[in-house]
Amino acid sequence: MTNLVGSTAKSSSQAKVAASLRRRYAAELRFRAYGIVAIAIGLAFVVFLFSSIISKGYTSFQQTYLAVDIDYAADTIDPEGTRLPDTLSAADYQAVIKASLRAQFPNVEGRASLRHLYGLVSNAAETTLRDQVVSDPKLIGSHQRIWLLADDHVDSFIKGQIDRKLPESDRPISDEEIAWLDALKAKHGVETKFNLAFFTSGDSREPEQAGVAGALAGSALTLIVTLILSFPIGVAAAIYLEEFAPRNFWTDVIEVNINNLAAVPSIVFGLLGLAMFIQFFGLPRSAPLVGGLVLSLMTLPTIIIAGRASLKAVPPSIREAALGMGASRMQTVAHHVLPLALPGMLTGTIIGMARALGESAPLLMIGMVAFIVDVPHGLSDPATALPVQIYLWARSPERAFVERTSGAIMVLLGFLLLMNAVAVVLRNRFERRW
């Protein structure tokens, strides 16, 4: 080996190469290690985020119910025996529930204790009973064991979010309430069921009755407006700028401005929407229509930029082939360029839409931050959106809103994943090789 290296100039340069090779491989290894570390850190954050949200939020998909022996006392519900629907809906079901609870726990005495007892079930239980009786008046006079929605502090306790070892003054549930619940549990009177109401009802002051349906519908309506406005306009603008517009000072100005618009903070678009759509055009406040308009302003630059990039990626040989065949420019674009660019445009659009879905700041400016119980059915109904709903719940003091906040985040993330999945499917289906 030594005489090989020493013998000729060639072998000495080979030795240098060998030495530098070691350095180069070491550098490559280091670089790979950096990459792996970077990915690991990123993944760790994602795992942390998801596990924190899911561990906090999965319980919001479950809801505690209490079994109460209800005495449908005829003299409370319908003392005159008319069975008229009006009488039945106006009856005092609160009293029915209170009486039934007192009958179930006969030893409870004193105003404070009784108030605690009545507070075990949600005040939504009243509506449950009323709906039951109105649809089936034959229940009056009978005894039924039915499941009533538990109040949020009971729900939190049953789900183990409140530690019973804490001193009584430090927890929102009293010793006697715990005792009653234990008694109920012993009789299989406590159950957690799938929380369907979380997906079917709107917002509420009572956490156990609050759901994301209103916010989900608001987000969906807003996004529909955004899509209908920004996709055609964005694609048309991208095609015009990329395929038809002459290259001159004005198109340069437009291009720079579109790039700048993409970087404008979204709250500025909210202010613009407030000033223009609501103040000037007089469109309704808190409406998905205005939300969609504002979000399309925000999404348009993204779609135009993505659209132009995917048009640029279409090889010029395809354009030449079509033009050489005598296709007009419009035909060249419509028959050949656009079909090839469309997957990229769709991906860009869905990325823009996903951003719009997660946007809350501009919606705050146009009043989509209000407390709205009803699920919106039209574009001008007052509505809120998922991210705003999350923000509203995160501000609420009740323990049970914590899990609902995380639950709503999970719904939002699910929505986003769904949209991204659609983007991937569309891209794979329409992508063509050349």
Partner 1 sequence: MTIEKHQHVTEVSRSVVFNESDHSSPGEQVDTKTVGQVTVDSPVISARHVNVHYGEKHAIKDVSIDVAKNAVIAFIGPSGCGKSTFLRCLNRMNDTIPNAKVTGSITLDGSDIYDRSQDIVQLRARVGMVFQKPNPFPKSIYENVAYGPRIHGLAGTRADLDDMVQSSLRKAGLWEEVKDRLDNPGTGLSGGQQQRLCIARAIAVDPEVILMDEPCSALDPIATAKVEDLIDELRENYAIVIVTHSMQQAARVSQRTAYFHLGDLIEVGPTEQIFTNPVHKLTEDYITGRFG
Binding residues for partner 1 (CB under 8 A): 246-247, 315, 317-328, 331, 335-336, 340, 432-434
CB-nearer residue toward partner 1: 333 or 372: 333
Label residue 402 left, alpha or beta by phi (over 0 means left) and psi (-120 to 50 means alpha): alpha
In the complex, least distance from residue 316 CB atom to partner 1, rounded to whole angstroms = 9
Q: How far apart are CA 273 and CA 270, in angstroms?
A: 5
Are the C-beta atoms of 357 and 386 separated by less than 8 Å?
A: yes
In the complex, least distance from residue 246 CB atom to partner 1, rounded to whole angstroms = 7
CB-nearer residue toward partner 1: 254 or 416: 254
CB-nearer residue toward partner 1: 300 or 322: 322
- State the pairing for strand pair 143-149/190-194: unpaired
In the complex, least distance from residue 208 CB atom to partner 1, rounded to whole angstroms = 57
**Around 23, how many Cα atoms within 13 Å sit in the side-chain half-sphere?**
6
CB-nearer residue toward partner 1: 19 or 330: 330
Q: How far apart are CA 308 and CA 241, in angstroms?
A: 8
In the complex, least distance from residue 231 CB atom to partner 1, rounded to whole angstroms = 23
Could you tell me where the beta strands, DSSP code E, fall in 43-157?
62-71, 143-149
- Report CA-CA distances (Å) from 80 to 102, 156, 312: 24, 41, 80
Q: How far apart are CA 347 and CA 237, in angstroms?
A: 17
In the complex, least distance from residue 326 CB atom to partner 1, rounded to whole angstroms = 4
Helix (H) or strand (E) holding 262: helix 249-262
In the complex, least distance from residue 334 CB atom to partner 1, rounded to whole angstroms = 11
Closest by CA position to 284, among listed 382, 431, 409, 137: 382
CB-nearer residue toward partner 1: 127 or 317: 317
CB-nearer residue toward partner 1: 75 or 320: 320
Which residues share a beta bridge with 65? 149, 191
CB-nearer residue toward partner 1: 120 or 333: 333
CB-nearer residue toward partner 1: 281 or 434: 434
In the complex, least distance from residue 335 CB atom to partner 1, rounded to whole angstroms = 7
Q: Which amino acid is at 244?
A: F
Closest by CA position to 212, among listed 194, 222, 198: 198
In the complex, least distance from residue 247 CB atom to partner 1, rounded to whole angstroms = 6
Are the C-beta atoms of 252 and 240 separated by less than 8 Å?
A: no
Count, residues in the chain? 434
CB-nearer residue toward partner 1: 175 or 431: 431
CB-nearer residue toward partner 1: 67 or 323: 323
In the complex, least distance from residue 325 CB atom to partner 1, rounded to whole angstroms = 5
* CA 21 centroid distance within chain: 52
DSSP string, 282-351: -PPTT-HHHHHHHHHHHHHHHHHHHHHHHHHTS-HHHHHHHHHTT--HHHIIIIIIHHHHHHHHHHHHHH
In the complex, least distance from residue 311 CB atom to partner 1, rounded to whole angstroms = 15
